[in-house]
């Protein structure tokens, strides 16, 4: 990274920190040498399982510079557990909890000098890919795997900072298969890409597709969906069709702390107009944080939430979350893991 440039001004995820960590699977679990290494290319066979049969999964979390100058990772253990669950679903050898946790912490500590100040943060990307060199293995799992962790200094995920987003409701094409939505598999993102690009070309100005094919609204390509008013917060109840966001879980707890009634239930497209009249909508995720939704295009109609500005309840929840992440509010839920640096 060029130390004179501002990495948070570059598009999200395009600037990489100096160090990464890797571990290869063995009969006795993943082997990690206990040392980070310089960020650089990784090698595997052109016959590697991942290159042919898509055995790839990942995680995404952030480390935040704290108000007192220390450094902390937000909900590290929850992300580690979700990665273990994803690897089991993908039939890849699951990394040991402590090993994965240690690798993440080591990598962040090695890159700590590159953590931007808030509102920037350090994005942490662990990934796991099947490396068995066997192009006959279409119907068998990869017997070997590579686990690696890279970091990026990041700013805003959506271009233009905090602004009300425009979503297009997609009621025909699913984001992925219903049983696989909760897995953070690379293939899910590949499947959503074509429909999203086609929709963006057909309807200029939309930021994201809002998928609603599995009995109600589920999520966008990279964030969970919420509607709310002054008293209530509603989001889809957990099922296998969508990613169980760690941010989603955090918002549910924060909203309860703040006195909102939280409903976890399916949200029907037919409800959106009513919510738009009296309430607000937002997207939530590690990258998106809490991003207000201003317009949803649905069934040829344009449903407008609010007056073009981010909603007050949305921003109240966003502030509550961000203040904890940045160590400016009490971490009553113990979501932060302090690391050196
Ligand atoms: C499809 C999808 N849904 C939801 C989320 C939000 O999950 P989290 O809050 O754990 O980042 C993400 C973000 O990674 C995602 O890719």
Q: Are 22 and 37 in contact (CB under 8 A)?
A: yes
Task: Write out the chain's pLDDT in tens, 341 residues.
Answer: 444 478 888 999 999 999 999 999 999 999 999 999 999 999 999 999 999 999 999 999 999 999 999 999 999 999 999 999 999 999 999 999 999 999 999 999 999 999 999 999 999 999 999 999 999 999 999 999 999 999 999 987 777 778 899 999 999 999 999 899 999 999 999 999 999 999 999 999 999 999 999 889 999 999 999 999 999 999 999 999 999 999 999 999 999 999 999 999 999 999 999 999 999 999 999 999 999 999 999 988 999 998 878 999 999 999 999 999 999 999 999 999 999 99
Atom of ligand 1 nearest to the CA of 247: 9
pLDDT at 235: 98
pLDDT at 2: 47
Q: How far is the CA of 79 from the centre of ligand 1 (A)?
A: 11
Q: Can you give the three-state secondary structure of the chain, one letter per residue?
A: CCCCCCHHHCCCCCCCCCEEEEEEEECCEEECCCCCEECCCCCCCCCEHHHHHCCEEECCEEEEECCCCCEEEECHHHHHHHHHHHHHHCCCCCCCHHHHHHHHHHHHHHCHHHCCCCCCEEEEEEEEEECCECCCCCCCCCCCEEEEEEEEEECCCCCCCCCCEEEEEECCCCCCCCCCCCCCEHHHHHHHHHHHHHHHHHCCCCCEEEECCCCCCCECCCCEEEEECCCEEEECCCCCCCCCCHHHHHHHHHHHHCCCEEEECCCCHHHHHHHHHHCEEEEEECCCEEEEEEEEEECCEEEECCCCCCCHHHHHHHHHHHHHHCCCCCCCCCCEEEECC
pLDDT at 159: 73
Domain boundaries of the chain, sorted by first residue: 7-154, 165-325
pLDDT at 308: 77
pLDDT at 232: 98
Using CA of residue 312, residue 316, residue 321, residue 326, what is the dihedral sign? Answer: positive
Q: Are 234 and 228 in contact (CB under 8 A)?
A: yes
Architecture of domain 7-154: 2-Layer Sandwich (3.30)
- Give dist(CA 47, CA 248) in Å, integer: 38
Residue 37: other Cβ atoms inside 10 A = 13
Ligand 1 site, residue 245, Cβ cutoff 6 A: yes
Cross-strand partners of 17: none
Ligand 1 site, residue 124, Cβ cutoff 6 A: no
**How far out from the chain centre does Cα 336 lie?**
17
Domains 7-154 and 165-325 share a fold: no
pLDDT at 339: 98
pLDDT at 7: 85
pLDDT at 22: 98
Ligand 1 site, residue 306, Cβ cutoff 6 A: no
Ligand 1 site, residue 286, Cβ cutoff 6 A: yes
Atom of ligand 1 nearest to the CA of 224: 4
HSE-up of residue 331 (Cα within 13 Å, Cβ side)? 17
Atom of ligand 1 nearest to the CA of 79: 10
Q: Report how far apart, in Å, the C-alpha atoms of 230 and of each of 88, 261, 275, 313 are.
A: 40, 10, 11, 7
Q: How far is the CA of 180 from the centre of ligand 1 (A)?
A: 14
State in Å, rounded, how far the first CA of the chain is from the last one.
18
Residue whose CA is at the smallest distance from ligand 1 atom 8: 245
pLDDT at 196: 95
Q: How far is the CA of 290 from the centre of ligand 1 (A)?
A: 11
- Give dist(CA 108, CA 214) in Å, integer: 38
Ligand 1 site, residue 196, Cβ cutoff 6 A: no
pLDDT at 1: 45
CATH class of 165-325: alpha beta
pLDDT at 3: 45
């Amino acid at each position: 990274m060029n130390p004179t440039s501002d990495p948070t001004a570059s598009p999200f995820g395009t600037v990489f920190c100096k160090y990464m960590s890797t571990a290869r699977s063995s009969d006795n679990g993943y082997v990690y040498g206990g040392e980070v290494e310089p960020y650089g290319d990784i090698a595997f066979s052109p016959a590697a399982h991942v290159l042919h049969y898509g055995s790839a999964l990942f995680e995404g979390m952030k480390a935040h510079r704290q108000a007192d100058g220390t450094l902390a990772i937000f909900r590290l253990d929850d992300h580690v557990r979700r990665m273990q669950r994803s690897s089991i679903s993908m039939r890849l050898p699951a990394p040991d909890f402590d090993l994965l946790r240690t690798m993440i912490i080591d990598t962040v500590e090695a890159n700590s000098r590159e953590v931007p100040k808030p509102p920037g943060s350090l994005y942490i990307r662990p990934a796991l890919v099947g490396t068995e060199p066997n192009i006959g293995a279409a119907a068998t799992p990869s017997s070997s795997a590579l686990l690696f962790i890279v970091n990026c200094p990041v700013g805003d995920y959506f271009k233009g900072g905090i602004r009300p987003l425009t979503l297009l409701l997609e009621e025909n094409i699913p984001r992925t298969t219903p049983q696989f939505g909760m897995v953070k598999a690379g293939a899910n993102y590949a499947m959503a890409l074509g429909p999203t690009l086609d929709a963006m070309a057909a309807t200029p100005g939309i930021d994201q597709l809002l998928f609603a094919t599995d009995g109600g609204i589920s999520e966008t390509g990279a964030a969970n969906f919420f509607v709310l008013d002054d008293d209530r917060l509603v989001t889809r109840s957990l099922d296998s069709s969508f990613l169980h966001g760690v941010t989603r879980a955090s918002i549910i707890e924060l909203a309860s702390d703040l006195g909102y009634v939280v409903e976890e239930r399916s949200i029907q497209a037919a409800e959106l107009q009513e919510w738009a009249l009296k309430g607000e909508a937002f997207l939530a995720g590690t990258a998106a944080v809490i991003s207000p939704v201003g317009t949803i295009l649905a069934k040829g109609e344009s449903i407008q939430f609010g007056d073009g500005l981010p909603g007050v309840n949305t921003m109240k929840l966003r502030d509550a979350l961000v203040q904890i992440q940045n160590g400016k509010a009490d971490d009553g839920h113990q979501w932060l893991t302090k690391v050196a640096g």
